[in-house]
Every structure is written in structure tokens, then in C-alpha cells.
Chain A
């Protein structure tokens, strides 16, 4: 089994999948870092102060002004109100929500990347694990070996898991190292407020607790990893069902983008919460943002994702072991 996994890893490396991901991340993170740096600079110029309290207070005032506009939709208003309550909570407890530094950057980068960027990277790994064997014709060579089919597939699946972990390692290390060049490497022990819950459109602070930022990051990475695994499993399944990398990636991409669009509209369509694409923002639960459909919780989203993931895995194995290959 270990040899099989080793073999699959070798293929991934030879096909330069890992390298491609490292390069993409290494190219994009400096861009984000620069953008973030520019934003911080303009804010400072405008306010004429580096004091975060003044900046945060100004943000609160701006948010309040947006609330007083009569043209914003009810859902959006709720979101803003929750964010407002949160900002006020930070200010009242004298905690800076965004100490500039490598860990803060990585934290917000993961928040942003969890719905689209990281799933895309996962797809680069997972989408052609099986289908490339079909298109290259190597599947026959592989299956003529005296090994059970399910073992071959399992080795591919496990390789996928490891590759996803490695990818997250690369992403978090690169984003910390590169952004640290600009923002410095401090702030690992900075307190982060977590445990905000949203009930009936109101922010509840009764379960709030403080975590050092590195603990928060670790939890966040765990959740990101889970999301990536589910996306990986589904791409893996499509790769088997469609036997074509392009089609598999296309379907997956369309679903993800549809999910991103739906997230903004779903609050009136309640059963949309059972779609996996709407449950990808797991990190929002840590941060205490309002979920796309009211009443969604971390447990709920994890269950939905698990069900989808397990179903995908089961389908993959059933189809792969039963299918005629010729």
C-alpha cells in the first residue's frame, strides 16, 4: 500500500502538479500583500494617524452611515449590523482586530481563499488523478497488476489527501513568509476574539472567548483542510465518472462559482443550505459572521459537507470497481 501511495506521489511530482501550485501561490501572495499594504497606507494617510482605535472608530462610523441609507436590502443590513456590533465589541474591549503582521495576513488570506482560490488549487491536484490514466491509456497497465482495484483507488485517494495537506502547508508558509517581509513577523500571540454567534440576526457575545492568534490559525487551517478535502473528494469522483479532466474541472468550477453567486441570494431560498457550495465558508463561523441562510451553524455545515464528501467517496469506489475498462 505504501508503495502504491509512493508511486502516486511520484506521478504527481512528475506531472509537475505540486510545482504548479507552489508557483501560483508564490506569484499571487506578493500581489495580495502589496494590495493590503496599499490599503493600510491610504487609510493612514486619510486619517493622519496610526492609532488603530481611531481607524476602527472611523470604520464604525462609516458602517453606521451605510446603515442609515434607505436603499440597502434587509439581508445586507443584517450583515452590516452584525459586523458593526462586532467592531464595537473589539473597540469596547480595547482589542485590535487586525494587528498588522504575518499571522493576521495569513488569517484573512485563508478567510478569503476558502471559497474559491483553495478549492481551485485542490482541483488542480484532484481532477485528473484518475481521468489522466484513462486519457493516457495507462489505466490498463495499472489494472492488470495483481492488486485489488479498490486498493489502487484508495492509494490515489490517500495521495490526494496528502497532497492537499502539503498544499496548505505551502500556502500558509509562503503567505506568512512573504507577507512578513512587509508587515513583520509579530502578532502570533495577539488575542483574537472568537465565539461570536448570530441568533435571529443579532450578534450574541455571551460565548465569546479570547484565543492567541496562532491557536486561531491552527483551528482555521483545520477547517480549511476539511473544506479542501470535500472539494477534493468531489473532484475525484467527477474525475472517475467523466473520465475527462476538462469536463471534471468544468463541472466543478461551474458549481463553485454558482455557489459563490448563490451565497449572496440564498437567504430567501432556505433549502439551498443543503448544497455543499453554500457551506464552504466554515471560517466565518469562527469569526462570527452571519451565515448565508439563517440558522446555519458550524455543526450543520460540517454535517452537510461530510454527507456530500462521503457520498462522493462511495460513488467513486462503487463506480471504479464495477466499471468495465477496455
Chain B
């Protein structure tokens, strides 16, 4: 009995050794000797999965786009205003809320514009019931560089480019999705505790005004101001980097947006 078992074991091993040898030589052949050949992606192999597009249609689908504020930088719980907003909405409503957070830290309006040209993002944009947007902070402050020389000659080209990008972004959103409400979160002045606060505040106010004007060009876009939230006690609501909101600061923004969403 034992002898037979060993013979079988041996023959299986030998057989599989040959299979493995085949696999190895195949790999070698296709990698070492056919590397010059450029292979086109054959279309018929690409998986077709129709009917999957509608899986997200139950409940509400919220899409968040933007920069570090959307990401939640500075919030110790990592939620950011988006996370707190979802929590709040979920406590008010029984409906299932699906969130897709596409925020990228440090994103500028130009980068967002190229991000929303991606296919998958566009698919989500088309499906969303609500779209939340924070953008512009990095365009204006440029990681604090703007503060070195906040002169009109410096700001003006920045603002011009930003407004052009913003208009294009909103245009894209509206073309893809006519029904979703879009909330554009305005900027606050993180430097209001500094001495020349009058000057930076003026710049931010002007920036916000121009953004809201662009938003008004499209239907169903709500411009949500945050300037006033951080105006008086900025230090209490800012994270230790003195730029991003802390947990409390995000809560303020979340509450404001939550009061605007009703279904």
C-alpha cells in the first residue's frame, strides 16, 4: 500500500514539475523575447458589467470634492466637516446615505479641474444627489506664500485663474448632473488673529464675493459662507497649524451645511 502511495506521489510531482516548467518558460518567452512587441488591449476581453450602474440608487448619494478641508485635515477624529455632516444627517434621517469623499490635500482649482475629467469621477458626479465642494484655499494662500506679499498685483492673476477654473468646474458639474444641489463652501480667513488682519480679511472677502458671483451663474448652486464663523474666535476653531479648522471648527461648518440639506 505504502509503496503505491509513493509511486503516485512521485508521478504527480513529476507531472506538476513539467507544468511548472511550462509556466516558467512561458513567462520567460513573453517577457524576455516579446518585449519589443506592443500589444493592444483587445476590446472584447474588457469586462462588460451592465446593470451595475444603478447599484447606488438606493438612499442618498453625496459626493465631496475639493482640498484638505474636504479631507478633514486638522480634525483629530479625521472626520472633517464631511464626516460630521454625514453623522448629523444620518441622525436626522432613516435613509441610507452613501458618501464618496474625493478630496485631496493641497488641491488647487486647476488640479480639481483635471480630476473631474476622470471617467470614474464623472460617473459619480452624474449619480450624486448632493455635491459638496471646497476649493480655492490653496489657490489663494499657496501654503502661506501669499502672505509674504499680499499686494493686489500678486492676488489679481491668482484670482483670475481661479475664477476661470471654478467656472469650468461648475459648468462640468452642471452638464453632467442637472438635478443635484451643489454646495460651494466659502473661504474663511485663517489669519484673522494677525496684525494686518484688515488687509487679509479684505482679500478673502473679495475672493469670496467673486466666487459667489460665479456660483450664481448656475442654477441650484448654494454658496455657503464660512467667513463669519471664524471671524471672532479664530484661534479657538483653528488647528495647531493655524490654517486648518480643528474638530470644533469643522463642526461649525458641518452644522451650517446640515441646516441647508433637507429631503
Interchain nearest-CB distance for B218 vs A (Å) = 25
What is the count of residue pairs linking A and B with beta-carbon distances less than 8 angstroms?
A: 149
Residues of A within 8 A of B17 (CB): 161-162, 165
**Interface 9-residue window, one of B41-49, B147-155, B170-178, B253-261:** B41-49
Kindly list 20 other residue pairs between chains A and B, CB separation below 8 angstroms, not including A5-B10, A162-B10, A165-B17. Answer: A50-B55, A58-B100, A58-B102, A69-B105, A88-B118, A161-B17, A165-B13, A165-B14, A166-B13, A166-B16, A168-B16, A206-B38, A207-B35, A207-B38, A218-B22, A219-B24, A221-B20, A222-B20, A223-B27, A225-B23
Which B residues are in CB contact (< 8 Å) with A58? Answer: 100-102
Given contacts A9-B6, A165-B16, contact A95 B23 (CB under 8 A): no
- Nearest-Cβ distance from residue B256 to partner chain A, whole angstroms: 24
Docked CA distance A263–B138 (Å) = 37
Determine the chain B residues whose CB is within 8 A of the CB of A209 once the complex forms.
39, 41
Q: Could you say which residues of chain B place their CB within 8 Å of the CB of A182? A: none
Interchain CB contact under 8 A, B124 and A94: no
Please give, as numbers and ranges, the residues of chain A lying within 8 Å of B13 by CB-CB distance: 162-163, 165-166, 169
Instruction: Give CA–CA (A53, B124) in the complex, Å.
Output: 10
Looking at A60-68, A133-141, A271-279, A311-319, the stretch in contact with chain B turns out to be A60-68
**Quick check: B120 and A53 within 8 Å, CB to CB?**
yes
Q: With an 8 A cutoff between CB atoms, is B225 at the interface?
A: no
Q: Is B7 an interface residue (CB 8 A)?
A: yes
Q: How large is the interface on B (under 10, 10 to 19, 20 to 34, 35 or more residues)?
A: 35 or more
Nearest chain B CB to A282's CB is how many angstroms away?
A: 8
Q: Does A286 contact B (CB under 8 A)?
A: yes
Contacts of B92-122 to chain A: CB distance below 8 A: 96-106, 118-121
- B244 beta carbon closer than 8 Å to chain A: no
Q: Which residues of A contact B119 (CB under 8 A)?
A: 91-92, 94
17 contacts between A and B (CB under 8 A): A47-B98, A48-B96, A53-B123, A54-B56, A54-B100, A65-B71, A65-B104, A94-B47, A95-B46, A161-B17, A166-B12, A207-B38, A225-B21, A226-B24, A298-B32, A299-B32, A302-B28
Selected from A6, A49, A165, the residue in CB contact (under 8 A) with B7 is A6
A251 at the binding interface (Cβ < 8 Å): no
Interface residues of A in 196-236 (CB under 8 A from B): 206-210, 212, 215, 218-223, 225-226
Cβ of B26 < 8 Å from any Cβ of A?
yes
**B6 near A191 (CB under 8 angstroms)?**
no
Known contacts: A10-B6, A54-B124. The answer to whether A47 contacts B100 by CB under 8 A is yes
Residues of A whose CB lies within 8 Å of any CB of B are 5-6, 9-10, 13, 18, 47-51, 53-54, 56-58, 61, 64-65, 68-69, 88, 91-96, 161-163, 165-166, 168-169, 190-191, 195, 206-210, 212, 215, 218-223, 225-226, 285-286, 298-299, 302
Kindly name the residue among A10, A88, A190, A206 whose own CB sees the greatest number of chain B CB atoms within 10 A: A10
- CA of A240 to CA of B106 in the docked complex: distance in angstroms? 59
A91 to B122: give the CA distance in the assembly, Å.
12
Once the chains are docked, how many angstroms separate the CA of A226 from the CA of B55? Answer: 44
A254 to B30 CA separation, bound complex (whole angstroms): 34
* List of B residues within 8 angstroms of A92 by Cβ: 118-119
Query: How many Å lie between the Cα of A168 and that of B18 in the bound state?
Result: 12
A190 / chain B contacts, CB cutoff of 8 Å: 47
For the complex, what is the distance from the CA of A155 to the CA of B110, rounded to whole Å?
67
Identity of the chain B residue whose Cβ is nearest the Cβ of A13 in the assembled complex: B6
A298 & B22 in contact (Cβ 8 Å cutoff): no
With A94-B46, A165-B17: A6-B6 Cβ-Cβ less than 8 Å: yes
Q: Tell me the dominant secondary structure on chain A's binding face.
A: helix
* Chain A residues with CB below 8 A from B7, complex form: 6
What residues of A have a CB within 8 angstroms of the CB of B102 in the complex?
A: 57-58, 61
Cβ proximity bits B32-63 to A, threshold 8 Å, 1 near / 0 not: 10010111011001110000100110010000
Give the one of A61, A220, A285, A286 with max B CB within 10 A.
Answer: A61
Chain A residues with CB under 8 Å of B118's CB are: 57, 88, 91-92
A223–B25 Cα gap in the complex (Å)? Answer: 9
Specify which chain A residues have a CB less than 8 angstroms from the CB of B27 in the assembled complex: 219-220, 222-223, 286, 298
- Residue B216 at the chain A interface, CB threshold 8 Å: no
Contact A210 B104 (CB under 8 A): no
Residues in chain B near residue A219, CB distance under 8 A: 23-24, 26-27, 30
A210 and B42 in contact, given A165-B16, A225-B24, A302-B28 (Cβ under 8 angstroms): yes
With A54-B100, A161-B17 known as contacts, the answer to whether A218 contacts B23 (CB < 8 A) is yes
